[in-house]
Amino acid sequence: MKKINLFSTLFFSLCLLLQTTVSAQSSPNPDGYRDIPWGTSIAQARAILTGVTLTEIPRDSRRDRQFPDGVNITRYRITDSVAGYPARTELYFFNDQFFQAVVNFNFDRFKNYDFNYNVFISVDRYYNDIRATTLNFVADIYSLLAQKYGKKQPTFRGLDPRHSFVDLDNYLAQERWNLRYNPSEYHKKIATQSFAQWIFPKTEVRFSIAISAFDRRFDYILSLASNDLLKEVERSISDARKRGL
C-alpha cells in the first residue's frame, strides 16, 4: 500500500511539473511589444506580425536627428490598436535588435471638434468630452499595464495622468462665472500635461499626455523600451558624439 501511495504521489508531482512547464512556455513574453521580445530582428518581427505591414521610416526625418551618424537605428511604422484605441506605433531597432516601441494614440477628433468657442455652453461641452474621454483612456492604459506587468506605483513628472485635470478643474470652479462672459478665454485654458514612468526588471514604460485645445495639440503617447538595449543605445550615442569632438 505504501508503494502505491508513493507511486501516486510521484505521478501527481510529475504531472504538475509538466503542466507548469507547458503553461510557462505557452504564456506570452511580457517584455516586448505585441509578442515581439526585446532583441528580435526585423525579419523575425515581420514574421511575428502576421498580416501587419511594417513601413520603414526614412532616416532623414526630424526624430532621427537625435541619433548621430554611426548609430545604426532604424524605425518602422505600423497601424495599430491598443486597448481598443486606434494608434500609430513606431518600432525601433538598434543593430537589427528590437529595443523600443512608441505608441501615438489617435485623438484627432478633438482637433476637428464641432463647437463654437464664442459660446460658453459649447466650449464647456467640448471640455467635458475631452476630460471624460481622456480619464477613461488613462484608466484603460493603467489597467492594461497592470495586467501585463503587475501593479506597481509609477513615478511622476508633474501631474499623474489620472489627475490630469485637477488644476484645470480648480481654476474653472473659481472662474466659471467670469468665463461665461468670455468663453474664448475658457477655450484657451483647456490645456494640461502629465507624465508617468514605470521601471520593471527588463522594461521601462513611459506614458505622457499633452493637451492644448487652442493649439489643437492632443498628444497621447505610450513608450516601452528594453532596459538593457536602451543602455547600449545610449552608450553608442555617447561614443559617437565624443568622436565628433
pLDDT at 69: 78
Cα-to-chain-centroid distance, residue 154: 13
pLDDT at 65: 64
- Residue 66 in domain: yes
pLDDT at 70: 80
- Residue 12 in domain: no
- Residue 1 in domain: no
Listed as ranges, residues in the chain with pLDDT below 50 are 1-28
Distant-in-sequence, close-in-space partners of 31: CB < 8 Å, separation ≥ 6 = 37, 38, 200, 202, 203, 226
Domain span at residue 186 reads: 32-243
- Residue 3 in domain: no
Q: How many domains does the chain have?
A: 1
| Burial (CB count within 10 angstroms: exposed 0-12, middle 13-18, buried 19+), residue 20 | exposed
Distant-in-sequence, close-in-space partners of 131: CB < 8 Å, separation ≥ 6 = 165
pLDDT at 245: 64
pLDDT at 31: 87
Q: What is the pLDDT of residues 174-231, one digit of tens each?
A: 999 999 999 999 999 999 999 999 999 999 999 999 999 999 999 999 999 999 999 9
According to DSSP, the residues that pair with 36 across neighbouring strands are 33
- Residue 14 in domain: no
Q: Is 137 in contact with 109 (CB distance < 8 Å)? A: no
- Residue 111 in domain: yes
pLDDT at 211: 98
- Residue 87 in domain: yes
- Residue 221 in domain: yes
Q: What's the CA gap between 43 and 34, in Å, rounded?
A: 15
Per the listing, cell 512556455 goes with: 25
pLDDT at 218: 97
Read off the pTM.
Answer: 0.84
CB neighbours of residue 69 within 10 Å: 9
